[in-house]
Structure 1
């Protein structure tokens, strides 16, 4: 899969749209999950792949993007990581607000291709490459993680690393729409949003998203 192939696939199976909470940013978005999921399996000639999470503006990323654009998460001059970035919404918001460097971390090559397309569409530069950064030592000042605690294995994999980054001095922000596996300790609420969604993706028409700052036991 080349960059050109991926970009062509994304353009053919999405439409430009503006997320409800962050209309300042335009993204390549799917209108339904099943058609693009089936198309991705056919295009990659691979069954049982993960859903194309990159093709939707998830509530957690929208909440982070809103706080960044409103200046409530200060990123100017900072090194920012958008972890599990999807289509790069939070990363794009950080780049727009003057971050010195923005990285988007994803393990899905199509998500990386979508982030590149979305960043270019919004006239910003985001460093995006397919990689599992969990366990990496701190090289960021701010770490953004939207809707990452949706499964127990995922939560168990990432939370010790995120806590280590916070202990090393990084500002770690989690945006969670009420997922079952969100830890109960070390989280300070920053702001709450009601984010419109669709019943195809969620079981309701909106999600209540809380953005938390992750702290260590010594700073809580």
Structure 2
């Protein structure tokens, strides 16, 4: 899939962070001529999603959650949650994604913000995930991984704007934000987005 053009700019809810992002008028599938190809993931990393923004805002406002701890941002996308964790004083920050282009984008964005991305630890202290419950299969896999982490006493924090497959029965909401989002992506200008801690 052709890569969208990005420019480095401030994130609306977290102006402390700048990311290489596609233009607000760009849709997720624009670089593919409007077509979805299952063998080539769309460039989720070129956009800053509501769940990631809310999670990042929460970490910047509550640095004690990650300060001095090992953090793993799962399905990192643009890397915004990982970057916020680094800025909030995490001892070590990892950012992984199924899409290798997303991992590259996260490292590029982290470098632009003075944050170093490490390899994932065998067991992090905190697991982050923003906007990952967007399909039944993604939700099932994320839930499985998060439950496994909780069994190992890892703290699990999620940002989610009410995607249809979010298993809210497993979480407690700890914060809520009205997050500015590109209308080309969400057909709205803001999404009320929760930050949730897994029980």
Do the two structures share a fold, i.e. TM-score over 0.5? Answer: yes
Structure 2: which 5+ runs fail to align? none
In the alignment, what sits opposite 1:106? 97
2:158 is the counterpart of 1:174: yes
In the alignment, what sits opposite 1:15? 7
CA 27–179 in structure 1, closer or farther in 2 if over 3 Å, else same: same
Between 1 and 2, higher relative CO (CA 8 Å, sep ≥ 6) is seen in 2
Structure 1: which 5+ runs fail to align? 1-8, 42-46, 130-136, 216-220
Question: Paired residue for 1:79, among 67, 70, 75?
Answer: 70
Shift in Å, 1:186? 2.1
User: What is the CA RMSD across the aligned residues, in angstroms?
Assistant: 2.4
2:12 is the counterpart of 1:24: no
Q: Runs of 4+ in structure 1 displaced over 4 angstroms? A: none
The count of corresponding residues between Structure 1 and Structure 2 is 194
Q: Is the 8 A contact 2:10 2:18 kept in 1?
A: yes
* SS of structure 1 residue aligned to 2:168: coil
In the alignment, what sits opposite 1:148? 132
Looking at structure 1, the residues matched to 80 and 168 of structure 2 have their Cα atoms a distance apart, in angstroms, of 26
Shift in Å, 1:189? 0.7
Map Cα deviations across residues 135-177 of structure 1 (whole Å, 9 max, x no partner): xx96100011111111111111221220121132111011110
CA 34–166 in structure 1, closer or farther in 2 if over 3 Å, else same: closer
